[in-house]
Amino acid sequence: MFPSAESVRTSLAGQNYIATREICTALYLAEGMGKPILVEGPAGVGKTELSKVWAAATGRDLIRLQCYEGLDESKALYEWEYGKQMLYTQLLRDKLQQILAGASTLSEAADLVAKEEDIFFSQRFLLSRPLLRAIRAQEPTLLLVDEVDRADAEFEAFLLEVLSDFQVSIPEVGTIRASKPPAVLLTSNNTRELSEALKRRCLYLFIGYPTPEAELEVVRLKVPGLAESLAKEAVAFVQRLRQMDLKKHPSVSETIDWAKALLMLNVQRLDEATLNATLTVLLKHEQDVLRARRASEAERAGHKAAEALRRPGAGRHEGLEDGEADWPPARRRRRGRDPRFEDPFGHGPRRGED
């Protein structure tokens, strides 16, 4: 258990995870109150990674339940090993015959079999799935329920029942209670709204995209060989992408992958050729890639135009004398278009020149 919220930051830093004050506070309260944490946010911002470093920092075993559409109780809690039951039946065939030898009627034989049926529906043949493994665990455990928003509402109601008491009832076995309730972290990508009942059972934490400074610190930590100037340039480019109207914005994990790719390619600076070759590491939809390339080209064109204007003599209007370019347009002399330039005294065309 963490002695303070600040100790959480230190422990997670030891696992190469940069935690905000909100993350540290949530973990500290979850440890002290014994409540699950519901972590929401975009995909790839470090929600699942948080459970891994939490387990590593506290010496817990991590048990992961990956949610998906159609997940039901048998896949999340337990199921019977029917193959193993059939094998034991074949191996014990001779013993069964001896037991049934004294039966004179079918009813007596059925009664004799019923006395032994508990053998085949005992915990010996019970295949524990993640939820039951976490409840039965004798060692400190952290249960990760990943992407709970992908599961159906019916499974969410079942999960709510399990998390409320950390016990399950199996008809053939009875009620199994957790001797050491696990720490629980649930993640959601906001693909659907979760029930208020589930949220009430949990402490809530939202992890969004990091600030440029925080993301740069992550890149320094995860890709230490990348040049500082290139790391700043890469993070700035990713931050600009997240301001665009894209189908899927680049995540922090994709920023790290891109930084690793730049390091492997020995890139010194981001140029047009490098962006075109590596942009798909960040963006995974064709329309997003095309939109980002067009925006990058427009930005480079704007930089070139700005540089041209900063050159000596840039912006001077042809045909104007020194200083005349700063005059209001109405006061400038329009050479080549006003005939009075040929007659500065305003007398009009000379005789014979009509």
Q: What is the per-residue pLDDT for 82?
A: 73
pLDDT digits (tens, 9 = 90+) for 234-282: 999 999 999 999 999 999 999 999 999 999 999 999 988 999 999 999 9
Predicted TM-score (pTM) of the model is 0.75
- What is the distance between the alpha carbons of residues 17 and 55, in angstroms, rounded to a whole number? 12
DSSP 8-state class, residue 34: T
| Cβ-proximal residues to 36 (8 Å cutoff; 6+ apart), any chain | 30, 163, 183, 184, 185, 186, 201, 202, 203
Residue ranges of the chain with pLDDT lower than 70?
Answer: 85, 109, 112-122, 303-354
* Cβ atoms within 10 Å, residue 244: 12
Q: What pLDDT score does 331 carry?
A: 54
User: Is it true that domain 5-77+129-206 has CATH number 3.40.50.300?
Assistant: yes
Please name which of 227, 221, 207 lies closest in space to residue 45, comparing C-alpha atoms. Answer: 207
Task: Give the pLDDT confidence score for residue 117 in this predicted structure.
Answer: 64
Question: pLDDT value at position 344?
Answer: 52
Nearest by Cα to 126 from 88, 170, 190, 185: 170
Q: What is the pLDDT of residue 298?
A: 83
Domain boundaries, the chain: 5-77+129-206, 79-125, 212-309
Integer Cα distance of 308 and 313 in angstroms: 10
**What letter does residue 123 receive in the DSSP assignment?**
G
